[in-house]
Amino acid sequence: MALSERRAAHDKATPAIDVAEKLAIPIVRLTPTPEKGSGSFTLVFPDALKARSTRQPGPAAPDDIALVLHTSGTTSRPKIVPLAQQNICASARNIRTTLALTAADRGLAIMPLFHIHGLMASVLAPISAGSEVWCPGGFNALKFFSWLAEVHPTWYTAVPTMHQTILARAGKNLDIVKANRLRFIRSSSSSLAPQVIRELEEVFGAPVIESYGMTEAAHQMASNPLPPAQRKPGTVGVPAGPEVCVIDTDGNPQPAGVPGELAIRGLNVMRGYENNPKANAEAFVKGWFRTGDQGVMDADGYFSITGRLKEIINRGGEKVSPREVDEVLGDEKKVTAIRMKNNKEGGTEDIPASGLFLAIGHTPNTDFLKGQVALNDKGYIKYTTLMRTYTSVEGVFAAGDVADDYYRQAITSAGTGCMAALDAQRFLEQA
């Protein structure tokens, strides 16, 4: 186990130390040496470890494990994902090629580096191209524009919540934005609403490249291309490294226009989950890795994701994706952030769960929302109860605050990971 010397003063309070000692796991001390250059350090090995022979001497082989990560556990328990050296190298190459990164680029790395998105897209891909990477030590929306002015990056990559937070503060920093033009903005890890894409491009004057990735693929699988090629908001683009297709329940590839499950195969795809034969049996079919995402390919080869298979709402036999609800409500500009989650409340039907976070001082156009609720042709949002979901305090903070005590009370009573059921009519009347 490697331990930074910066934690030396806290060793006694670090459970990892006790566990390592109890299991006789050697502890390697890492000491940063910034005077020798950014990112440099020394390693101090214990005597017991020095006496051991190297299990596999020489450079790492393509199939050697490089990283061990966990899945997000969005729709099931987290699984252990071992990524081989060739997975990492292939993914870095794929991202570098998609974004046309060169030594002239400088990336602003605001994604956390324990996340496959941050590790691959923010750091390893640009390094493989000889690009510069500037790491501020974490995302801070209040400092983003000062970083833009200081660093003069050519691009950055982030998740949708970060983009929305940046966009909310962009109006007060337009001079900085105009003085520091980006070559492109990248988004991944979850879908970015077409409305947000449009606003980002208008404010920053740069194309927004939406990509599709997951831990099991060492991040990138598909991506919208850079100009002059066509970008299609609402899609995740075309295959960007591995092969991508839509399969049916038996694992057979489907033609354009036929919905099914997105599947991938390629050098960046893991060989299987660690110690989980059941998950592996379910995840692989006929040489394809099943992503668990429902989607469709259009005639031009662009893929659209309609939702996670386990999140699809069944309302009287009608299959509805949470993203469809998000995009309908997202057309109302005063609604700054939307969350949708599937919730099974007894019986045989699923109930839509939509969370609307309203910014301070903004009142949504209730006529617009009522019209959408009444006129949506799917019918699933016409029922009497909307479920508002609050998964974290951060979700509320990202959009500002809520407009009145009624919503504030609902958030408090719901708690993390819980639901607060609101009558739809009362919600619209008090919004």
Mean of pLDDT values over 223-250: 95
250, 282, 308 - which closes a domain: 308
55 assigned to some structural domain: no
What's the chain's average pLDDT? 75
Residue 378 falls within a domain, yes or no? yes
Q: Among 143-147, 160-164, 371-375, name the most confident range.
A: 143-147
Summarize the confidence of residues 28-37 as an average pLDDT: 87
Give CA–CA dist 121/214, Å, rounded: 12
Task: Calculate mean pLDDT across residues 39-53.
Answer: 81
Q: State the Cα–Cα distance between residues 252 and 320, nearest whole angstrom.
A: 23
Tokens encoding 78: 């987290």
* pLDDT given at position 105: 97
Do 121 and 249 fall within a single domain? yes
Alpha-carbon distances of 403 from 138, 379, 408, 410, 431, rounded to whole Å: 29, 28, 8, 12, 8
CA atoms within 13 A on the CB side of 88: 23
pLDDT of residue 28: 87
| Domain span at 331 | 312-430
pLDDT tens digit sequence for 241-273:
999 999 999 999 999 999 999 999 999 999 999
Q: Are residues 168 and 255 in the same domain?
A: yes
Residue 131 structure tokens: 């690009």
Residues 186 and 230 both lie in one domain: yes
Cβ-proximal residues to 228 (8 Å cutoff; 6+ apart), any chain:
none
Higher-confidence residue: 87 or 319?
Answer: 87
Say which CATH number the domain at 148 has: 3.40.50.12780
Cβ within 8 Å of residue 233, ≥6 positions away: 194, 197, 198, 208, 210
Q: Are 262 and 295 in contact (CB under 8 A)?
A: yes
Position 44 scores a pLDDT of 87
**pLDDT digit string (tens) for 285-313?**
999 999 989 999 999 999 998 876 655 54
175 and 189, same domain (yes or no): yes
88, 218 in Cβ contact below 8 A?
yes
Structural domain count of the chain: 3
Residue 278, both tokens: 């059941």
**Beta carbons within 8 Å of 44's beta carbon, 6+ residues apart:** 28, 29, 30, 31
How many helices (H) and strands (E) in the chain? 15, 25
Residue 318 domain flag: yes
CATH of the domain at 348: 3.30.300
Query: Looking at the structure, do residues 244 and 123 belong to the same domain, yes or no?
Result: yes
Q: How confident is the model at residue 137 (pLDDT cuts 50, 70, 90)?
A: confident
Contact assessment for residue 303 and residue 271, using Cβ atoms and an 8 Å cutoff: no
The per-residue pLDDT for 190 is 81
What's the rounded Cα separation, in Å, for the pair 189 and 162?
A: 11
**pLDDT beyond 90 at 75:** no
Domain match, 272 and 343 both: no
Tokens of 378: 């799917």
- Residue 221 in contact with residue 244, Cβ under 8 Å? yes
Residue 110 has pLDDT above 80, yes or no: yes
The per-residue pLDDT for 354 is: 39
- What pLDDT, in 10s, does the model give residues 180-202? 999 999 999 888 888 889 999 99
Do residues 261 and 290 make contact, with C-beta atoms less than 8 angstroms apart? yes
What is the per-residue pLDDT for 327?
52
| 279 and 398, same domain (yes or no) | no
pLDDT at position 138 is: 83
Residues 218, 130 share a domain: yes
Q: How far apart are alpha carbons 271 and 183 in whole angstroms?
A: 35
pLDDT digits 0-9 by tens, 367-422? 434 444 333 343 333 322 233 333 333 333 333 333 333 333 333 333 322 222 23
pLDDT band at 16 (very low <50, low <70, confident <90, very high): confident
Asked if residues 233 and 246 have their Cβ atoms less than 8 Å apart, the reply is: no
